[in-house]
Amino acid sequence: MKDKLIIHIGLGKAASSTMQSKIFNLIAENLGYYYISNKSEVKNKIDLDLKNQMTKHCTKMILGLNVDKIDFPNFSLVSNEGFSSYRQPHFYEEFAQKNLEAFGEDVHIVLIIRKPSNFLNSIYVQCCVHEKPIVPPEFFFINEKNYSERYPENTYNISKADTFKLIEYYKSRFRKVSILKYEVLKNGNYLQKIFKFDDITKNKISKIFESIKINRSLGKNGLRFLTLINNTLQIFGFSFKPKYSNKILLLRLTDYNKIETLKQKKFFIKIITKINKILLNPIFIDKIFGYKKIKINFDSLNIDIKKLDEEYDRIPDYQVFEK
């Protein structure tokens, strides 16, 4: 039976951007599904309205507010990694419950997971390097004993980073849940099992994955450079601005498009933003300072990464749970 609604909830840092920009549109076209994601093009009022609702839903979950029901058209493929709380496992179950309230139980949830040693490394770089403020790993990865929602900077409750529990939160709430490992995405075989697309589409997807160049994150030397800038700014009472400010979150609760409108109107800010992106671009910085991959020393943080990886290895590459 054809699923009326398929929702890919992430995880982030597990090829979500690639899936949203290059893969899901092909799958939706082959299956005759309506497709929308946080990266899909706005073509009409329905797209705009649904994007606004998705943005508000994610924002309300981030802020711990009550969520509203979202009615997607029948036979839709939806993707938004913000649905999963991938930046903060402390809220995995809360987000799962609020997704249930927003989407209803009769949906097909797709969850792509990733090996913890690589996933956690990428999460750190995303939250504490690219999005800022810059936070050393020892102050970002915090265990349950010391965890608090009230820390002023980004944190990650490592004690809650349990993939088995994450899967269970969705299994217990939704009619159908498909779990797929990031490491086996490229051949397209398991994606085909989930979505039931034809072999022509599968071959197209495999070729796309083969041609994709991995977006390289900032290297160690670049991080040292940005840390120096950040420490210098702090001497004068300044620091890098976090990506998600109060202003942005409040605007997202009202009208998502106001954010883009404000950016367009402020020409000077737009130019400065472009210059900033060039100067702080990982490739540009690494060309100057040389590239060495940022690699977290989990042992020094008393994180048993070997155990987490071994637990992950026991999970099948692909599995589906259906009530």
- pLDDT tens for 183-197 read 999 889 999 999 999
Helices and strands (DSSP H and E) totals, the chain? 15, 8
For residue 220, is pLDDT > 90? no
Query: Using CA atoms, how far apart are residues 179 and 316, in angstroms rounded to an integer?
Result: 9
Nearest one of 289, 270, 311 to 223, comparing CA atoms: 289
- Whole-number pLDDT of residue 247: 74
Which whole number is the average pLDDT over 208-214?
A: 81
Containing H/E element for 122? helix 116-125
For residue 290, is pLDDT > 80? no
- Whole-number pLDDT of residue 262: 47
- Whole-number pLDDT of residue 259: 46
Query: Using CA atoms, how far apart are residues 289 and 178, in angstroms rounded to an integer?
Result: 43
Query: Using CA atoms, how far apart are residues 310 and 139, in angstroms rounded to an integer?
Result: 25
- My answer on whether 118 and 26 are in the same domain is yes
Domain count, the chain: 2
Residue whose tokens read 């810059």: 134
- My answer on whether 287 and 313 are in the same domain is no
pLDDT tens by residue, 25-80: 999 999 999 999 988 988 999 998 999 999 999 999 999 999 999 999 999 999 99
- My answer on whether 147 and 206 are in the same domain is yes
- Whole-number pLDDT of residue 281: 63
DSSP for 11-51, please give it. -TTSSHHHIIIIIHHHHHHHHT-EEEETTS---SHHHHHHH
Residue 4 half-sphere exposure, CB side, CA atoms within 13 Å?
10
Which whole number is the average pLDDT over 281-291?
A: 67
What percentage of the chain exceeds 70 in pLDDT?
A: 86
- For 161, the domain range is 5-215+302-322
- How far is CA 23 from each of CA 42, 51, 77, 186, 202, rounded to the nearest angstrom? 17, 19, 12, 11, 10
Query: Using CA atoms, how far apart are residues 125 and 201, in angstroms rounded to an integer?
Result: 33
Q: Lowest-pLDDT range, 201-205, 275-279, 296-300?
A: 275-279
Containing H/E element for 112? strand 108-113
Helix (H, G, I), strand (E, B) or coil at 134: coil
Query: Using CA atoms, how far apart are residues 34 and 71, in angstroms rounded to an integer?
Result: 13
pLDDT tens by residue, 80-90: 999 999 999 99
- Whole-number pLDDT of residue 275: 56
- My answer on whether 228 and 161 are in the same domain is no
- My answer on whether 126 and 268 are in the same domain is no
- Whole-number pLDDT of residue 280: 58
- My answer on whether 159 and 274 are in the same domain is no
Query: Using CA atoms, how far apart are residues 170 and 109, in angstroms rounded to an integer?
Result: 8
- Whole-number pLDDT of residue 230: 74
- My answer on whether 16 and 157 are in the same domain is yes
- My answer on whether 50 and 197 are in the same domain is yes
- My answer on whether 98 and 16 are in the same domain is yes
- How far is CA 8 from each of CA 39, 79, 115, 233, 238, rounded to the nearest angstrom? 13, 5, 18, 40, 39
